Amino acid sequence: MTFLAALRDTTRPDDPQAVQIDQDAMSWSELRGAASAFAATLDGAGPVAVNADPSLTTVVAVTGCLLAGVPVVPVAPDSGPAELAHLVRDSGATSWVGGLRDGIDLPVRTVDLRPSAEVPLPAPVDESVVATILYTSGTTGAPKGVLMSQGALRAGIEGLAEAWGWTDADTVAHGLPLFHTHGLVLGVLGSLHLGSRVLHTGKPTPERYAAAGASMYFGVPTIWGRIARDPESARQLSSARLLVSGSAPLPVPVFERLRELTGQSPLERYGMTETLLTLSTRADGERRPGWVGLPVAGAETRIRGEDGEVAPHDGETVGRLEVRGSMLFDGYLGLPEVTAATMTDDGWFVTGDLAVVDAEGFHRIVGRESVDLIKSGGYRIGAGEIETSLLDRPEVLEVAVVGEPDEDLGQRIVAHVVIDPAAVDGASDALAQILVDHVAEDLSWHKRPREIRFVASLPRNHMGKIQKKQLLPTAP
């Protein structure tokens, strides 16, 4: 099947609201015509950088690049001057789409949403052609350009379609950024490939999600947490077929609250910019709070311990998650040595995440090896289970657990906690002890936090992921 198959199918019935961004909409034929017209301007062009705001202009520009076989570089609308300069320089972008930005001296391409002349669809391109250059968050240095081929995007989307029962009868709604895999590749391009209607809510508010009337909703835990705290909006999602959560672990209390309000369990999944989605619970299968399910079609996983051996499938042994499959990236742009360092000798991608797998093949992500594996007093402790335990307390709204250097323990467990003022009665020192005792009783004594730090908020990136490295002490 050719990538963007549904968009290319001129025999499918037209839909005046095939793609809707907030209040603006395009039909299949309008999008096909506008994207083809833009593609026709790209003959021989190099990568095109797109100011990826939530707009029809972004959708047409990205789609036009893919139809023409020209790599597209989605850029965050709020990226600062240094980040913007790096992305443009590193990607080798030859032109720019969107409003003028300081520091951009590339030729600007315009997008005509209603071209006057009909332009035929470009011929299908080879699936090995680079489709997108998506940049990682850059938590360990400058962001790296991830090269994703058209074939990888197609394989990843079709694997999800099989797991989720995703068809052209669905309507997908989300309010996610269009410069990341979640919002752009899954939320928009997935719909253009499979034929489902897609509705971007503009802003990811509970009220806008409630008004969308979709069969599938995509969100990150921050969004789902807000919806769970808005019972009226949450109940409006009861008629949906799937509530999909990703990009970060969904707290178990949010999972349970959504199930209570909507009558259905959220569907959790796992992936990375470099791998698309490789694990997911299924539309027709078990949905277990805190677990991200089974490998999707075309993907394989393995969990390896520190000794390099495959970890037992006992649901408890923590190991490094490695994946392989047809949806993996082609490498980091201009960084062959970095790319090679992420691959094993036998061809598996080392995700950098820690996970456990049970006898049924269900996976649970423990966290990032760099910040979520805490070695304290001779124990290997996953930060995620402590966070889940603390979130069971009514006083705790958000939490991030890290390991800090300790002369005696190696690392001591420190919990950064955002509390609900309405649920707090008494001094913070007393509450801190209550939280420590709760973990000690709920899990085990050696997993208790050695320190509770109450904070107003936690540092997050565009997708709502907590940036734990910003919580760690800097070296003197």
pLDDT tens figures, 397-415: 889 999 998 877 888 999 9
pLDDT score of 444 = 78
Tell me the pLDDT tens digit for each residue of 251-261: 888 999 999 99
Q: Which residue reads 């994946």 in tokens?
A: 323
Report d(CA 185, CA 270) in Å as an integer.
14
CA distances (Å), origin 3, targets 26, 48, 119, 185, 196: 20, 19, 19, 12, 14
pLDDT score of 468 = 86
Instruction: Say if residue 385's pLDDT is above 60.
Output: yes
Sign for the CA dihedral angle at 332, 333, 337, 340 comes to: positive
pLDDT confidence of 131, banded at 50, 70, 90?
A: very high
Residue closest to 98 by CA, chosen among 113, 112, 109 = 109
CA distances (Å), origin 24, targets 115, 171, 200, 288, 380: 17, 16, 10, 37, 51
Instruction: Say if residue 139's pLDDT is above 50.
Output: no
pLDDT score of 476 = 45
Question: Residue type at 383?
Answer: A
**Lowest mean pLDDT across 68-82, 95-109, 301-315, 378-392:** 378-392
Cα distance from N-terminal residue to C-terminal residue, the chain: 56
Q: Which residue reads 């999008």 in tokens?
A: 31
Query: pLDDT averaged over the chain?
Result: 91
Q: Which residue segments constitute the domains of the chain, with CATH numbers given?
A: 1-369 (3.40.50.12780), 377-470 (3.30.300.30)
